[in-house]
Structure 1
Protein backbone atom coordinates (compact mmCIF):
# COMPACT_ATOMS: atom_id res chain seq x y z
CA UNK A 1 0.00 0.00 0.00
CA UNK A 2 1.37 3.42 -0.89
CA UNK A 3 2.04 5.85 1.97
CA UNK A 4 0.32 9.20 2.09
CA UNK A 5 2.74 12.08 2.68
CA UNK A 6 0.35 15.07 2.30
CA UNK A 7 -0.87 15.36 5.91
CA UNK A 8 2.09 17.47 7.15
CA UNK A 9 3.37 18.89 3.88
CA UNK A 10 2.40 22.52 4.67
CA UNK A 11 4.12 22.88 8.06
CA UNK A 12 7.35 24.14 6.50
CA UNK A 13 5.44 27.12 5.02
CA UNK A 14 4.40 28.31 8.47
CA UNK A 15 7.97 28.05 9.75
CA UNK A 16 9.28 29.89 6.68
CA UNK A 17 6.71 32.68 7.13
CA UNK A 18 7.78 33.11 10.76
CA UNK A 19 11.42 33.26 9.67
CA UNK A 20 10.71 35.93 7.02
CA UNK A 21 8.70 38.01 9.52
CA UNK A 22 11.51 37.85 12.06
CA UNK A 23 14.08 38.87 9.44
CA UNK A 24 11.90 41.79 8.34
CA UNK A 25 11.59 42.98 11.94
CA UNK A 26 15.37 42.68 12.35
CA UNK A 27 16.03 44.73 9.21
CA UNK A 28 13.56 47.42 10.35
CA UNK A 29 15.27 47.69 13.74
CA UNK A 30 18.69 47.91 12.09
CA UNK A 31 17.42 50.54 9.65
CA UNK A 32 15.83 52.64 12.40
CA UNK A 33 18.95 52.52 14.55
CA UNK A 34 20.98 53.92 11.68
CA UNK A 35 18.69 56.93 11.06
CA UNK A 36 19.23 60.44 12.39
CA UNK A 37 17.22 61.83 15.29
CA UNK A 38 14.83 63.75 13.04
CA UNK A 39 13.62 60.59 11.30
CA UNK A 40 13.26 58.75 14.63
CA UNK A 41 11.13 61.58 16.07
CA UNK A 42 9.02 61.66 12.91
CA UNK A 43 8.28 57.93 13.15
CA UNK A 44 7.40 58.26 16.83
CA UNK A 45 4.95 61.07 16.01
CA UNK A 46 3.38 59.00 13.24
CA UNK A 47 2.53 56.25 15.75
CA UNK A 48 1.16 58.73 18.30
CA UNK A 49 -1.03 60.53 15.74
CA UNK A 50 -1.21 58.63 12.43
CA UNK A 51 -3.66 61.10 10.86
CA UNK A 52 -1.39 64.14 11.10
CA UNK A 53 1.64 64.93 8.99
CA UNK A 54 4.62 63.73 10.99
CA UNK A 55 7.15 66.42 10.15
CA UNK A 56 6.89 70.05 9.26
CA UNK A 57 8.53 69.35 5.92
CA UNK A 58 6.84 66.18 4.85
CA UNK A 59 3.61 64.40 4.13
CA UNK A 60 5.02 61.05 5.28
CA UNK A 61 7.84 59.63 7.37
CA UNK A 62 10.59 60.52 4.89
CA UNK A 63 10.93 64.27 4.09
CA UNK A 64 9.08 64.95 0.85
CA UNK A 65 10.49 67.22 -1.86
CA UNK A 66 6.96 67.99 -3.01
CA UNK A 67 6.44 69.93 0.24
CA UNK A 68 8.54 72.79 -1.09
CA UNK A 69 6.36 73.18 -4.17
CA UNK A 70 3.25 73.18 -1.95
CA UNK A 71 4.83 75.82 0.27
CA UNK A 72 5.71 77.98 -2.71
CA UNK A 73 2.23 77.61 -4.17
CA UNK A 74 0.48 78.58 -0.94
CA UNK A 75 2.80 81.55 -0.47
CA UNK A 76 2.04 81.58 3.25
CA UNK A 77 2.59 78.47 5.28
CA UNK A 78 6.25 78.08 6.12
CA UNK A 79 5.35 75.91 9.12
CA UNK A 80 2.59 73.68 7.78
CA UNK A 81 2.74 70.61 5.58
CA UNK A 82 0.32 69.91 2.77
CA UNK A 83 -1.88 67.79 5.06
CA UNK A 84 -1.94 70.46 7.78
CA UNK A 85 -2.68 73.22 5.28
CA UNK A 86 -5.57 71.18 3.91
CA UNK A 87 -6.96 70.72 7.43
CA UNK A 88 -6.79 74.48 8.04
CA UNK A 89 -8.57 75.20 4.77
CA UNK A 90 -11.31 72.68 5.52
CA UNK A 91 -11.82 74.15 8.98
CA UNK A 92 -11.93 77.63 7.47
CA UNK A 93 -14.67 76.54 5.05
CA UNK A 94 -16.63 74.73 7.78
CA UNK A 95 -16.54 77.77 10.06
CA UNK A 96 -17.72 80.09 7.29
CA UNK A 97 -20.66 77.77 6.58
CA UNK A 98 -21.55 77.30 10.24
CA UNK A 99 -21.44 81.01 11.06
CA UNK A 100 -23.03 82.07 7.75
CA UNK A 101 -21.13 85.37 7.77
CA UNK A 102 -22.84 87.45 5.11
CA UNK A 103 -22.33 90.91 6.63
CA UNK A 104 -20.17 93.55 4.94
CA UNK A 105 -16.57 93.41 6.17
CA UNK A 106 -16.93 96.60 8.22
CA UNK A 107 -19.85 95.03 10.13
CA UNK A 108 -18.62 91.46 10.51
CA UNK A 109 -18.71 89.88 13.95
CA UNK A 110 -16.32 87.10 12.92
CA UNK A 111 -13.34 87.40 10.61
CA UNK A 112 -11.35 84.28 9.65
CA UNK A 113 -7.86 84.54 8.17
CA UNK A 114 -5.28 82.01 7.03
CA UNK A 115 -1.94 83.35 8.28
CA UNK A 116 1.65 82.04 8.18
CA UNK A 117 1.14 80.79 11.75
CA UNK A 118 -2.22 79.07 11.34
CA UNK A 119 -5.88 80.09 11.35
CA UNK A 120 -6.81 83.33 13.14
CA UNK A 121 -10.46 83.86 14.12
CA UNK A 122 -11.25 87.39 15.30
CA UNK A 123 -14.56 87.82 17.15
CA UNK A 124 -15.53 91.51 17.34
CA UNK A 125 -17.65 92.92 20.14
CA UNK A 126 -19.52 95.54 18.11
CA UNK A 127 -22.05 97.94 19.63
CA UNK A 128 -24.65 96.94 17.03
CA UNK A 129 -24.18 93.21 17.69
CA UNK A 130 -22.46 92.80 21.07
CA UNK A 131 -20.71 89.58 22.01
CA UNK A 132 -20.18 90.63 25.66
CA UNK A 133 -22.30 92.53 28.13
CA UNK A 134 -21.17 96.21 28.35
CA UNK A 135 -17.94 96.60 30.40
CA UNK A 136 -18.21 92.93 31.38
CA UNK A 137 -16.60 89.60 30.64
CA UNK A 138 -20.01 87.88 30.47
CA UNK A 139 -21.38 86.77 27.11
CA UNK A 140 -24.55 88.01 25.53
CA UNK A 141 -26.74 85.19 24.21
CA UNK A 142 -25.35 85.97 20.75
CA UNK A 143 -21.77 85.80 21.99
CA UNK A 144 -22.38 82.43 23.63
CA UNK A 145 -23.82 81.14 20.34
CA UNK A 146 -20.80 82.37 18.36
CA UNK A 147 -18.26 80.69 20.65
CA UNK A 148 -20.25 77.48 21.04
CA UNK A 149 -20.41 77.25 17.24
CA UNK A 150 -16.67 77.83 17.01
CA UNK A 151 -16.12 75.14 19.64
CA UNK A 152 -18.17 72.51 17.79
CA UNK A 153 -16.17 73.06 14.62
CA UNK A 154 -12.74 73.24 16.29
CA UNK A 155 -13.50 70.08 18.30
CA UNK A 156 -13.82 68.12 15.03
CA UNK A 157 -10.12 68.72 14.34
CA UNK A 158 -8.03 67.48 17.25
CA UNK A 159 -4.68 68.45 15.73
CA UNK A 160 -4.72 72.14 16.73
CA UNK A 161 -3.39 74.11 19.67
CA UNK A 162 -5.62 77.03 20.66
CA UNK A 163 -4.44 80.47 21.80
CA UNK A 164 -6.89 83.11 23.06
CA UNK A 165 -6.18 86.83 23.26
CA UNK A 166 -8.48 89.58 24.51
CA UNK A 167 -8.21 93.16 23.19
CA UNK A 168 -10.12 96.40 23.57
CA UNK A 169 -10.12 99.94 22.20
CA UNK A 170 -8.41 102.92 23.79
CA UNK A 171 -10.84 105.10 25.77
CA UNK A 172 -9.78 108.67 26.57
CA UNK A 173 -12.18 109.05 29.51
CA UNK A 174 -13.41 105.72 30.88
CA UNK A 175 -16.92 105.77 32.39
CA UNK A 176 -17.23 105.62 36.17
CA UNK A 177 -16.58 102.19 37.65
CA UNK A 178 -15.34 100.87 34.29
CA UNK A 179 -13.17 97.76 34.76
CA UNK A 180 -9.44 97.90 34.27
CA UNK A 181 -8.78 97.13 30.56
CA UNK A 182 -6.15 94.51 31.43
CA UNK A 183 -8.56 92.64 33.68
CA UNK A 184 -11.43 93.06 31.22
CA UNK A 185 -9.54 91.65 28.23
CA UNK A 186 -7.98 88.77 30.15
CA UNK A 187 -11.39 87.98 31.66
CA UNK A 188 -13.04 87.92 28.23
CA UNK A 189 -10.32 85.63 26.85
CA UNK A 190 -10.87 83.29 29.80
CA UNK A 191 -14.65 83.36 29.30
CA UNK A 192 -14.04 82.32 25.70
CA UNK A 193 -11.78 79.50 26.90
CA UNK A 194 -14.48 78.15 29.21
CA UNK A 195 -17.07 78.22 26.44
CA UNK A 196 -14.80 76.37 24.00
CA UNK A 197 -14.01 73.66 26.56
CA UNK A 198 -17.70 73.40 27.55
CA UNK A 199 -18.60 72.56 23.95
CA UNK A 200 -15.97 70.01 23.07
CA UNK A 201 -12.49 71.54 22.77
CA UNK A 202 -10.05 69.52 24.87
CA UNK A 203 -8.57 71.47 27.83
CA UNK A 204 -5.04 70.44 26.89
CA UNK A 205 -5.49 72.04 23.46
CA UNK A 206 -5.61 75.48 25.12
CA UNK A 207 -2.02 76.74 25.22
CA UNK A 208 -2.48 80.45 25.90
CA UNK A 209 -5.06 82.79 27.47
CA UNK A 210 -4.04 86.44 27.66
CA UNK A 211 -5.39 89.97 27.80
CA UNK A 212 -3.63 92.85 26.02
CA UNK A 213 -5.87 95.76 27.08
CA UNK A 214 -5.65 98.49 24.39
CA UNK A 215 -2.01 97.89 23.46
CA UNK A 216 -2.53 95.95 20.18
CA UNK A 217 -5.02 97.68 17.85
CA UNK A 218 -6.06 96.04 14.61
CA UNK A 219 -3.60 96.81 11.78
CA UNK A 220 -4.43 100.07 10.06
CA UNK A 221 -7.16 101.01 12.55
CA UNK A 222 -7.24 103.92 14.98
CA UNK A 223 -6.70 102.81 18.60
CA UNK A 224 -10.09 104.32 19.53
CA UNK A 225 -12.06 102.32 16.93
CA UNK A 226 -14.50 99.76 18.36
CA UNK A 227 -13.12 97.13 15.97
CA UNK A 228 -10.26 96.75 18.44
CA UNK A 229 -12.71 95.33 21.00
CA UNK A 230 -12.31 91.68 20.18
CA UNK A 231 -11.20 88.19 21.20
CA UNK A 232 -8.70 86.53 18.89
CA UNK A 233 -8.68 82.72 18.59
CA UNK A 234 -5.46 81.44 17.03
CA UNK A 235 -5.34 77.81 15.85
CA UNK A 236 -1.84 76.45 15.43
CA UNK A 237 -1.00 72.98 14.14
CA UNK A 238 0.10 70.79 17.03
CA UNK A 239 3.51 69.11 16.69
CA UNK A 240 2.64 66.28 19.08
Structure 2
Protein backbone atom coordinates (compact mmCIF):
# COMPACT_ATOMS: atom_id res chain seq x y z
CA UNK A 1 0.00 0.00 0.00
CA UNK A 2 2.82 2.35 0.92
CA UNK A 3 4.63 1.53 -2.30
CA UNK A 4 1.53 2.29 -4.32
CA UNK A 5 1.08 5.62 -2.55
CA UNK A 6 4.71 6.60 -3.24
CA UNK A 7 4.30 5.75 -6.92
CA UNK A 8 1.60 8.43 -7.33
CA UNK A 9 3.19 11.01 -5.03
CA UNK A 10 4.75 13.09 -7.85
CA UNK A 11 1.64 13.45 -10.01
CA UNK A 12 0.92 16.91 -8.58
CA UNK A 13 4.25 18.16 -9.96
CA UNK A 14 3.26 17.22 -13.48
CA UNK A 15 -0.13 18.87 -13.04
CA UNK A 16 1.51 22.01 -11.65
CA UNK A 17 3.96 22.15 -14.57
CA UNK A 18 1.07 21.88 -17.04
CA UNK A 19 -0.78 24.63 -15.18
CA UNK A 20 2.29 26.92 -15.24
CA UNK A 21 2.79 26.31 -18.97
CA UNK A 22 -0.86 27.07 -19.65
CA UNK A 23 -0.67 30.31 -17.66
CA UNK A 24 2.44 31.39 -19.56
CA UNK A 25 0.74 30.67 -22.88
CA UNK A 26 -2.29 32.66 -21.73
CA UNK A 27 -0.04 35.56 -20.73
CA UNK A 28 1.71 35.55 -24.12
CA UNK A 29 -1.62 35.48 -25.96
CA UNK A 30 -2.95 38.40 -23.92
CA UNK A 31 0.27 40.34 -24.50
CA UNK A 32 0.17 39.76 -28.25
CA UNK A 33 -3.47 40.81 -28.55
CA UNK A 34 -2.60 44.10 -26.83
CA UNK A 35 0.18 44.99 -29.32
CA UNK A 36 -0.18 47.12 -32.43
CA UNK A 37 -0.35 45.73 -35.96
CA UNK A 38 3.38 46.16 -36.72
CA UNK A 39 4.46 44.03 -33.78
CA UNK A 40 1.87 41.35 -34.58
CA UNK A 41 3.11 41.19 -38.18
CA UNK A 42 6.74 41.01 -37.04
CA UNK A 43 5.96 38.13 -34.66
CA UNK A 44 4.05 36.31 -37.40
CA UNK A 45 7.00 36.69 -39.82
CA UNK A 46 9.41 35.42 -37.18
CA UNK A 47 7.38 32.25 -36.66
CA UNK A 48 6.75 31.68 -40.36
CA UNK A 49 10.41 32.00 -41.38
CA UNK A 50 12.72 32.74 -38.44
CA UNK A 51 15.93 32.47 -40.48
CA UNK A 52 15.03 35.26 -42.93
CA UNK A 53 13.66 37.71 -40.37
CA UNK A 54 16.97 39.54 -40.01
CA UNK A 55 18.10 39.50 -43.62
CA UNK A 56 14.82 40.51 -45.24
CA UNK A 57 11.81 41.65 -43.29
CA UNK A 58 13.47 43.61 -40.53
CA UNK A 59 15.70 45.76 -42.73
CA UNK A 60 15.13 49.48 -42.46
CA UNK A 61 12.14 49.56 -40.09
CA UNK A 62 11.90 53.25 -39.30
CA UNK A 63 9.12 54.06 -36.82
CA UNK A 64 9.08 57.81 -37.45
CA UNK A 65 6.07 58.76 -39.55
CA UNK A 66 7.98 61.69 -41.06
CA UNK A 67 10.89 59.61 -42.31
CA UNK A 68 10.83 57.56 -45.49
CA UNK A 69 12.30 54.13 -46.01
CA UNK A 70 12.74 53.46 -49.72
CA UNK A 71 13.69 50.08 -51.08
CA UNK A 72 15.16 50.24 -54.57
CA UNK A 73 15.75 47.20 -56.75
CA UNK A 74 14.09 44.57 -54.59
CA UNK A 75 16.39 41.64 -54.00
CA UNK A 76 19.61 43.67 -54.01
CA UNK A 77 20.01 43.03 -50.29
CA UNK A 78 20.33 39.28 -50.80
CA UNK A 79 24.12 39.41 -51.12
CA UNK A 80 24.67 41.60 -48.06
CA UNK A 81 25.68 39.97 -44.79
CA UNK A 82 22.99 39.65 -42.14
CA UNK A 83 25.21 41.34 -39.55
CA UNK A 84 25.75 44.41 -41.73
CA UNK A 85 22.06 44.70 -42.56
CA UNK A 86 21.12 44.35 -38.92
CA UNK A 87 23.59 47.11 -38.01
CA UNK A 88 22.19 49.38 -40.72
CA UNK A 89 18.67 48.70 -39.48
CA UNK A 90 19.71 49.56 -35.93
CA UNK A 91 21.26 52.87 -37.04
CA UNK A 92 18.11 53.85 -38.92
CA UNK A 93 15.91 53.00 -35.94
CA UNK A 94 18.08 54.95 -33.50
CA UNK A 95 18.25 57.99 -35.76
CA UNK A 96 14.49 57.82 -36.27
CA UNK A 97 14.05 57.73 -32.50
CA UNK A 98 16.15 60.90 -32.24
CA UNK A 99 13.97 62.57 -34.88
CA UNK A 100 10.88 61.67 -32.89
CA UNK A 101 12.33 63.14 -29.71
CA UNK A 102 13.69 66.31 -31.29
CA UNK A 103 10.82 68.28 -32.85
CA UNK A 104 13.33 70.77 -34.28
CA UNK A 105 14.65 68.04 -36.61
CA UNK A 106 11.26 67.07 -37.98
CA UNK A 107 11.54 68.89 -41.32
CA UNK A 108 15.34 69.04 -41.51
CA UNK A 109 16.44 65.39 -41.64
CA UNK A 110 15.08 62.58 -43.79
CA UNK A 111 16.25 58.96 -43.76
CA UNK A 112 16.18 56.83 -46.90
CA UNK A 113 17.29 53.20 -46.99
CA UNK A 114 18.51 52.20 -50.46
CA UNK A 115 20.55 49.35 -51.93
CA UNK A 116 23.69 51.52 -51.55
CA UNK A 117 23.10 52.05 -47.84
CA UNK A 118 21.44 54.59 -45.55
CA UNK A 119 21.02 58.10 -46.97
CA UNK A 120 20.62 60.90 -44.45
CA UNK A 121 19.41 64.08 -46.14
CA UNK A 122 19.92 67.31 -44.17
CA UNK A 123 17.86 70.14 -45.69
CA UNK A 124 18.91 73.78 -45.61
CA UNK A 125 15.39 75.24 -45.52
CA UNK A 126 14.74 78.97 -45.48
CA UNK A 127 12.74 78.82 -42.25
CA UNK A 128 15.44 76.73 -40.53
CA UNK A 129 18.74 77.36 -42.34
CA UNK A 130 21.63 75.00 -41.71
CA UNK A 131 24.14 77.28 -43.49
CA UNK A 132 24.57 81.03 -43.62
CA UNK A 133 23.11 82.20 -46.99
CA UNK A 134 25.52 81.71 -49.89
CA UNK A 135 28.32 80.34 -47.70
CA UNK A 136 29.60 77.08 -46.23
CA UNK A 137 29.44 78.47 -42.67
CA UNK A 138 27.06 76.66 -40.36
CA UNK A 139 24.36 78.46 -38.45
CA UNK A 140 24.20 77.54 -34.74
CA UNK A 141 21.24 75.33 -35.66
CA UNK A 142 23.28 73.64 -38.41
CA UNK A 143 26.14 72.94 -36.02
CA UNK A 144 23.70 71.33 -33.61
CA UNK A 145 22.11 69.17 -36.33
CA UNK A 146 25.42 67.78 -37.60
CA UNK A 147 26.87 67.28 -34.13
CA UNK A 148 23.74 65.32 -33.16
CA UNK A 149 24.08 63.10 -36.23
CA UNK A 150 27.84 62.72 -35.73
CA UNK A 151 27.49 61.43 -32.17
CA UNK A 152 25.21 58.66 -33.41
CA UNK A 153 27.16 57.80 -36.59
CA UNK A 154 30.47 57.72 -34.67
CA UNK A 155 29.26 54.66 -32.76
CA UNK A 156 29.53 52.57 -35.94
CA UNK A 157 33.02 52.46 -37.41
CA UNK A 158 32.54 49.71 -40.01
CA UNK A 159 30.71 51.81 -42.62
CA UNK A 160 32.33 54.03 -45.22
CA UNK A 161 30.80 57.49 -45.58
CA UNK A 162 30.14 59.61 -48.66
CA UNK A 163 29.05 63.23 -48.45
CA UNK A 164 27.17 65.08 -51.19
CA UNK A 165 26.37 68.78 -51.44
CA UNK A 166 23.37 70.01 -53.45
CA UNK A 167 21.87 73.41 -54.23
CA UNK A 168 18.52 74.60 -55.55
CA UNK A 169 18.14 75.88 -59.08
CA UNK A 170 18.61 79.65 -59.10
CA UNK A 171 17.83 82.38 -61.59
CA UNK A 172 20.03 81.84 -64.69
CA UNK A 173 21.61 85.31 -64.36
CA UNK A 174 22.54 84.65 -60.72
CA UNK A 175 23.85 81.12 -61.04
CA UNK A 176 27.45 82.11 -61.76
CA UNK A 177 27.45 84.59 -58.89
CA UNK A 178 26.23 81.96 -56.44
CA UNK A 179 29.05 79.56 -57.48
CA UNK A 180 26.76 76.53 -57.43
CA UNK A 181 29.46 73.94 -58.02
CA UNK A 182 31.91 75.39 -55.54
CA UNK A 183 29.26 76.09 -52.92
CA UNK A 184 27.80 72.58 -52.99
CA UNK A 185 31.28 71.04 -52.66
CA UNK A 186 32.34 73.43 -49.91
CA UNK A 187 29.20 72.67 -47.89
CA UNK A 188 29.75 68.93 -48.21
CA UNK A 189 33.33 69.40 -47.04
CA UNK A 190 32.14 71.58 -44.14
CA UNK A 191 29.83 68.72 -43.15
CA UNK A 192 32.82 66.35 -43.26
CA UNK A 193 34.78 68.58 -40.90
CA UNK A 194 31.84 68.83 -38.52
CA UNK A 195 31.33 65.05 -38.42
CA UNK A 196 35.02 64.41 -37.80
CA UNK A 197 35.15 67.12 -35.14
CA UNK A 198 32.39 65.34 -33.24
CA UNK A 199 33.82 61.85 -33.27
CA UNK A 200 33.49 60.27 -36.74
CA UNK A 201 36.78 58.63 -37.78
CA UNK A 202 38.43 60.56 -40.67
CA UNK A 203 39.28 57.27 -42.38
CA UNK A 204 35.57 56.46 -42.72
CA UNK A 205 34.99 59.32 -45.17
CA UNK A 206 35.81 58.09 -48.66
CA UNK A 207 34.31 60.80 -50.88
CA UNK A 208 33.09 64.40 -50.70
CA UNK A 209 31.20 65.63 -53.76
CA UNK A 210 29.37 68.71 -55.00
CA UNK A 211 26.54 68.35 -57.53
CA UNK A 212 25.31 71.95 -57.73
CA UNK A 213 21.64 71.94 -58.84
CA UNK A 214 21.89 68.89 -61.14
CA UNK A 215 20.21 66.41 -58.76
CA UNK A 216 17.01 67.89 -57.27
CA UNK A 217 14.85 65.79 -54.99
CA UNK A 218 12.56 63.63 -57.16
CA UNK A 219 9.40 64.80 -55.43
CA UNK A 220 10.19 68.54 -55.49
CA UNK A 221 10.50 71.28 -58.15
CA UNK A 222 14.12 72.18 -59.01
CA UNK A 223 13.88 75.64 -57.40
CA UNK A 224 12.54 74.38 -54.05
CA UNK A 225 14.68 75.41 -51.10
CA UNK A 226 14.57 71.79 -49.88
CA UNK A 227 16.98 70.95 -52.73
CA UNK A 228 19.62 72.82 -50.75
CA UNK A 229 20.89 69.88 -48.79
CA UNK A 230 23.84 67.80 -47.70
CA UNK A 231 23.49 64.04 -47.99
CA UNK A 232 25.37 61.63 -45.75
CA UNK A 233 25.55 58.13 -47.22
CA UNK A 234 26.51 55.24 -44.95
CA UNK A 235 27.60 52.65 -47.50
CA UNK A 236 27.02 48.93 -47.41
CA UNK A 237 30.38 47.24 -47.98
CA UNK A 238 29.35 44.92 -50.81
CA UNK A 239 28.28 47.86 -52.97
CA UNK A 240 31.42 49.92 -52.36
CA UNK A 241 33.57 48.57 -55.18
CA UNK A 242 30.85 48.77 -57.81
CA UNK A 243 29.96 52.32 -56.77
CA UNK A 244 33.61 53.38 -56.87
CA UNK A 245 33.97 51.93 -60.36
CA UNK A 246 30.84 53.73 -61.48
CA UNK A 247 32.09 56.99 -60.02
CA UNK A 248 35.42 56.60 -61.83
CA UNK A 249 33.77 56.25 -65.23
CA UNK A 250 31.11 58.90 -64.68
CA UNK A 251 31.31 62.14 -66.65
CA UNK A 252 29.64 64.16 -63.89
CA UNK A 253 31.23 67.31 -62.46
CA UNK A 254 31.29 65.96 -58.91
CA UNK A 255 34.37 67.27 -57.15
CA UNK A 256 36.33 64.85 -54.98
CA UNK A 257 38.04 66.07 -51.83
CA UNK A 258 40.65 64.02 -49.95
Specify if TM > 0.5. yes
Shift in CA distance, 186/78, structure 1 to aligned 2, threshold 3 Å: farther
Unpaired stretches in structure 2, ≥5 consecutive residues: 1-50, 60-73, 241-258
Matching of residues 1-240 of structure 1 within 5 Å:
70-71=55-56, 75=74, 77-99=77-99, 100=101, 102=103, 108-173=107-172, 178-238=177-237
Partners of 1:159 and 1:237 within 8 A in 2: no
Partners of 1:166 and 1:232 within 8 A in 2: yes
Alpha-carbon offset, residue 101 of structure 1: 5.1
Partners of 2:95 and 2:152 within 8 A in 1: yes
Shift in CA distance, 123/203, structure 1 to aligned 2, threshold 3 Å: same
Q: What's the TM-score, normalizing by structure 2? A: 0.60
Partners of 2:55 and 2:86 within 8 A in 1: no
Query: CA–CA distance in 2 between the matches of 1:89 and 1:69?
Result: 9
Q: Which residue of 2 aligns with 1:7?
A: none
Tell me the SS of whatever aligns to 2:178: coil
Tell me the SS of whatever aligns to 1:88: helix
Shift in CA distance, 174/191, structure 1 to aligned 2, threshold 3 Å: farther
Aligned-residue RMSD, C-alpha: 2.7
Query: CA–CA distance in 2 between the matches of 1:217 and 1:176?
Result: 15
Alpha-carbon offset, residue 97 of structure 1: 2.5
Between Structure 1 and Structure 2, which shows a larger proportion of helix residues? 2
Tell me the SS of whatever aligns to 1:193: helix
Unpaired stretches in structure 1, ≥5 consecutive residues: 1-65
Query: CA–CA distance in 2 between the matches of 1:103 and 1:155?
Result: 22
Query: CA–CA distance in 2 between the matches of 1:69 and 1:151?
Result: 26
Query: CA–CA distance in 2 between the matches of 1:177 and 1:170?
Result: 12
Q: Which residue of 1 aligns with 2:24?
A: none
Q: What's the TM-score, normalizing by structure 1? A: 0.65
Tell me the SS of whatever aligns to 2:233: strand
